[in-house]
Amino acid sequence: MKQPLITLLSAFICVHLRFRILSVFALALLAAPSAHALKSDADQPINIRARSVEANEKTGVSIYTGNVVMTQGSLQIEADRVEVTLRQRQTELIHATGKPLRLRTRTDAGENIRARAARLEYHENARRVDLYGDVELRRDADVFTGAVVHYLLDEETFTADGGDGGQVSATIQPAKKDSSR
């Protein structure tokens, strides 16, 4: 009789951990350009600082290089290079690279979100964020790592891969107990 109970408990823990990992990841990716962590971020102007910019109005491509810092409200992306592709004055693709690139933002609940990766791609039409190369996502003390992560914003689903011979991992801190009870 113990074996079915252990199996049931293992299944419950596995489902619970998957939900928590998805929650950590979903909150981290709220920082994507059209899914901001703070609701007020979407109403803020985008500011980009870089050592240089090369813009082609015919193709709609702007390439920012050298200590690029892109901010919009609480969202901040630091990268070596950011390429922005526009179609009819709307963002179509953002491609950022760095060693590593860093992303920081804050949620309406006051949680700090940080991400680190070698490369980030945001596809506006598909509403997808792709992170590549030693991806690390943090929500306060919770940590999620992997080699490649693809996140569909509208479906709120993601896939992660540990890469060649690697694994994905998650460190999830227990919820703080309410001391007022």
The tens digit of pLDDT for each residue in 15-63 reads 444 444 433 343 344 334 434 346 666 677 788 999 999 999 999 999 9
Place of tokens 């070698």: 118
Domains of the chain, with CATH numbers?
Answer: 2-171 (2.60.450.10)
Nearest to 22 by CA among 157, 142, 145: 157
Place of tokens 């001391």: 179
Query: What is the residue-averaged pLDDT of the chain?
Result: 77
Could you check whether the bond before residue 33 is cis, i.e. omega within 30 degrees of 0? no
For the CA atoms of 122, 111, 156, 70, what is the dihedral angle to 10 degrees?
Answer: -10
Mean pLDDT value across residues 140-168: 82
Q: Does residue 181 register a pLDDT over 60?
A: no
Confidence of residue 159 (pLDDT cuts 50, 70, 90): confident
pLDDT reported for residue 113? 79
**Position with higher pLDDT, 58 vs 105:** 58
pTM (2 decimals)? 0.70
Name every residue whose Cβ is closer than 8 Å to that of residue 97 and which is 6 or more positions away in sequence.
Answer: 79, 80, 81, 118, 119, 120
> How would DSSP label each residue in the chain?
-HHHHHHHHHHHHHHHHHHHHHHHHHHHGGGBTTB-SSGGGGGSPPEEE-SEEEEETTTTEEEEEEEEEEEETTEEEEEEEEEEEEETTEEEEEEEEEEEEEEEEE-TT--EEEEEEEEEEEETTTTEEEEEEEEEEEETTEEEEEEEEEEETTTTEEEEE--TT---EEE-PPPPP-TT-
Q: For the chain, what is the largest distance between any 2 Cα atoms, rounded to a whole number of angstroms?
A: 71
pLDDT reported for residue 48? 92
**Position with higher pLDDT, 177 vs 156:** 177
Distance, in Å, from the CA atom of 150 to the CA atom of 146, rounded to the nearest integer, reads 11
pLDDT reported for residue 156? 61
